[in-house]
Structure 1
């Protein structure tokens, strides 16, 4: 681990408002297995759908997750970074194909042992592990059997959840069933052509994921005493890009698919009204009760609003609209709207009536690199985090029950179709050498955590 980025004479944004954050508020960071682990062909790990997709040449620069951040071998160094940062909790995901190479059947002890070592290291550092069962890396062997379009996957996922609960449930109490099911459903490549012919596949997929969630909740309750279970959803305001009636109607529809297709049935016991009839053909007697299992908290991933228009040739009519002029944007062209973050926190707290944890929020850049001194200075990320954390504080002031914040991400990593050209980390990763260089935002976030704990900042 390189030393922290040194103080700089360049003006840096100040610390956020924390007037209303509770003393027991949890400060953390998040990562995901495929994005950081690497070791794709080691110790019996099976292939995932993302290993397969990376070989199609459609990821930027033909990047793959074969090495990624080499976290599989460097986890001790990465936990030391977490400890230096002052994290209270760390949200990570288990790679399903690492522990069950074929998705079902034979268990890979070497894969399970890796997460034992990681949890050991976190415990030694005083950091609570938050374990996510699924962050998009479906075993390819299950995709070959129909994946999420095959209703049998409900039992496959439940068996996987039971294995994880039995193995780690004495030491891990916080569990996430799925990360952003609205994203990996809406943008799945398993549907084939991106046109309206895929609509029914999407509806079947949504329902099977919801059923798998409910089955996993039951499996975790059976195997983990005092488990605290939640869903993590990417919940963003969906705005029409114009005032055309068809765009306004489409925005309302996409709001149900993007934000509520999973959280409503899981937390409220019914599908949202605009998509209920479309999913009805796939619902069997007793299904809604199987989905609507007791949950303990709500996980929110949030970056920026989404601007869309109506495209009659696209799946469910989802077209990408122009973003309004005059709104600040990140280097990767995502709008910066902390007021929308505040309002979303208020909305989900009221709608679902559960404690809310922000499980991802962060700033992506494609222009960061070490300066002549070797430091990585990122005032744009600091300003973003300051304004969004201040928005969180304002949401609490307005009555939202928000109890934790996890920045995305601890490390620069494999950013899906963008490969390694986009960086979200508090820590810069030199992929050629695997050097970790804490950015100026790392020092800044450490100061936020210390201040929130009533400690002296540097």
Structure 2
């Protein structure tokens, strides 16, 4: 059998998010987002007000992406740059900024892939109850309409909500307000329901308004392994796979909430409210995604929890989580770790590609995958061989998945250029390009190509043939 290569139109590229990369937090009419006003910045790390100053370096940044050979660039739009208060007047300067960015990308034949929401709700909406307020659904639908009206003539690839499942796990850290309810679990799943409705309405609008437009969700997906051969650990693994991964995608693709989670919520007296007609929205034919985008960093290893188990903080945002009677995550001694304690599992990448395609039979695009590390600029150079090795192993497994028969549209790792980590500030770097700033010393913000820049450039030039 002839060995299958990447398609000629494969979307090699990279990813960023607005609040971690743009800066210009109050420039040219932008309203504050929850990320601009948040107080729970991890101790010793910077805020996001300047970030990598892409707002003032966008032409230089796009030129670097073009030099690498990017075929696509996945970035998010800041809702409050476009509509400062989340609803109401549209900021013409914000529209102009993104129009300029999109046009510059297209000039270099780079396909823009836009994430509509990436953790940065307008602060004005947050004050009005945020995602817990059912009014947010109409606000998001209106926001989507503004985006499609202004950019849909040129942008054909859209992502709705980044890592909705992670917001349910780490909501407070990434700026999600679950309100002051005594029943936090119910509040979380009510927020989730409003996000599902928002996503469905955005999908419907996209399919009506954007000629040849394609749209999909962008969750963070982990493959899961049982910690032992005990049958009960396999049960726990199934529980985690549903509750962490597929509960969210099943709604988007199939228009239904998984029975396992609904049963769990009923037992906890935490079932969220579903109003008349809302399931019809989720089941609307036009609400179905055209593809599945997903972020992959690590796998999970799972056991059935002991009653005495407590959550354990490891390093960075890595937490061993437990849900009584359902699952408990445990370390996997078979895997090496990053400098920040994340388990590295390239075969898990292949596993999750196969699993997603098998379950949903939709094209896949990777919108985040990468490794953070302590990169240093020495004599104008950054030697990040550890990053090259990480990508080598993951891309090889992605190619194996392609030959397994998985339909893969593109690969946009995290991140195109250094940005500000939500948990570790500028100390933790992900990009192919080094941004010359420290945690609190902005220096000159100059850009420097890392060794991984040149390696990835060759991967794209050869369309992955040498992997």
Q: Scaled by the length of structure 1, what TM-score is found?
A: 0.88
Q: Which residue does 1:427 correspond to in 2?
A: 433
Task: Tell whether 2:217 aligns with 1:231.
Answer: yes
Change in CA separation of 1:146 and 1:249 when aligned onto 2, cut-off 3 Å: farther
Provide the rounded CA distance (Å) in 2 between the counterparts of 1:66 and 1:320: 37
Tell me the distance in 1 between the aligned counterparts of 2:161 and 2:458: 31
Cα deviations by residue, 1:237-265 (Å, 9 ceiling, x for unpaired): 23466788887655433322321222111
The answer on 1:440 being equivalent to 2:451 is yes
Deviates more, 1:114-123 or 1:238-247: 238-247
The SS at the match of 1:359 is: strand
The answer (yes or no) to whether the contact 1:198–1:315 under 8 Å persists in 2 is no
Q: Distance in 2 between matches of 1:191 and 1:319?
A: 23
Residue of structure 1 equivalent to 2:30: 45
What does residue 318 of structure 2 align with?
Answer: none
Whether the 8 Å CA contact 2:22–2:53 is kept in 1: the answer is: yes
CA distance, structure 2, for counterparts of residue 272 and residue 102 of structure 1: 35
Tell me, yes or no, if the aligned pair for 2:162 and 2:218 is still in contact at 8 Å: yes
2:101 to 118, 141, 157: 118
Name the structure, 1 or 2, with higher relative contact order (CA <8 Å, separation 6+): 1
Which residue does the alignment assign to 2:282?
291
Q: In structure 2, what is the equivalent of residue 304 of structure 1? A: 298
What secondary structure does 2:131 align onto? helix
Q: Is the CA contact 1:204–1:282 (under 8 Å) kept in the aligned structure 2? A: yes
Per-residue Cα deviation, 1:362-409 (whole angstroms, up to 9, x for no partner): 1111x21023x3210111111110110111111111111112111110
- Are the structure 2 counterparts of residues 453 and 334 from structure 1 closer, same or farther at C-alpha, using a change threshold of 3 Å? closer
Distance 1:45 1:247 in 2: 49
> 1-side partners of 2:328 and 2:416: how far apart?
30
Identify which of 121, 126, 131 aligns with 1:143.
126
Residue among 344, 354, 361 paired with 2:352: 344
Aligned equivalents of 1:358 and 1:369: distance in 2?
27
* Match status 1:88 vs 2:102: no
Contact 1:296 1:354 in 2 (8 A): yes
Unpaired segments of 5 or more residues in structure 2?
A: 312-320, 438-442
Partner in structure 2 of residue 262 of structure 1: 248
Map 1:58-457; keep pairs closer than 5 Å. 58-189=41-172, 190-191=177-178, 197-239=183-225, 250-277=236-263, 278=265, 281-292=272-283, 293-307=287-301, 310=305, 317=324, 321-365=329-373, 367-371=374-378, 373-431=379-437, 432-452=443-463
Residue 29 of structure 1 pairs with residue 23 of structure 2: no
Provide, for residues 85-117 of structure 1, a one-character-per-residue CA deviation record: whole Å limited to 9, x for no partner: 000111111000111111101111111111011
CA contact (8 A) 1:34 1:137 kept: yes
Q: Does the 8 A contact of 2:102 with 2:112 survive in 1?
A: yes
Q: Is the 8 A contact 2:12 2:71 kept in 1?
A: yes
**Which 10-residue stretch deviates more, 255-264 or 177-186?**
255-264
Alpha carbons 2:14, 2:415 under 8 Å: kept: yes
Q: Residues of 1 paired with 2:364 and 2:163: CA distance? A: 15
Deviation of 1:297 after TM superposition, in Å, equals 0.8
Secondary structure of the residue aligned to 2:120 is coil
Count of aligned pairs between the two proteins: 434
- Choose 104-113 or 81-90, whichever is displaced more: 104-113
* Alpha-carbon contact 1:40-1:67 (below 8 Å) kept: yes
Would you identify which runs of 4 or more consecutive aligned residues in structure 1 move more than 6 Å? Answer: 242-247, 312-315
In 2, Cα distance between the equivalents of 1:59 and 1:248?
A: 36
CA RMSD of aligned residues (A): 2.5
Quote the Cα distance in structure 2 between the aligned partners of 1:46 and 1:241: 47
Contact 1:240 1:321 in 2 (8 A): no
Q: 1:241, 1:322 within 8 Å by CA — same for their partners in 2?
A: yes
Cα distance in 2 between the residues matched to 1:21 and 1:411: 24
Deviation of 1:136 (Å): 0.8
Q: TM-score, normalised by structure 2?
A: 0.87
Q: Which moved more, 1:95-104 or 1:241-250?
A: 241-250
Q: In structure 2, do the counterparts of structure 1 residues 248 and 330 end up closer, same or farther at CA, with 3 Å as the change threshold?
A: same
The 1:308–1:411 alpha-carbon spacing in structure 2 relative to 1, beyond 3 Å, is farther
Q: 1:281 to 1:66 in 2, by over 3 A?
A: closer
- Give the direction of change, closer, same or farther, for the CA distance of 1:316–1:101 in structure 2 (3 Å limit): farther
Match of residue 14 from structure 1: none
